[in-house]
Amino acid sequence: TAAQPNFIDQHLADICASIQHTLIDILMRKLKKAVAATKIHRVCLAGGVSANSGLRAAMKAAGAKHGWKVHMPDFAYCTDNAGMIAITAHYKYLQQQFADLTSTPTARASW
């Protein structure tokens, strides 16, 4: 702001923490509603966002509190989406699940 030109720089960590806290709160409220609506008590956290330690902690805490079975990859597999794709390819390879060269790419996985 004009009155405090360095405000953001001086408070960046607090601003980021507040945004993260709010986003995790929103995601957890939506997850609780989804679990209540579906009666499915097995939840999964995956993708790049699963590397967020605050979200991981919130998921574990909610699982313990509500009796959910929470699934999430080990942190080492979360920091790079390419790593998650590679481990999926590895397990598909072990199961001899191959696609031929004429396959058409799609944004939706068939498994």
Distance CA 83, CA 76 (A): 9
The whole model's pTM is what?
Answer: 0.67
Tokens (6 digits) for 74: 């080990």
pLDDT by residue, tens only, the chain of 111 residues: 688 889 999 999 999 999 999 999 999 999 999 999 999 999 999 878 888 999 999 999 999 999 999 999 888 877 777 777 888 899 999 999 988 888 887 777 666
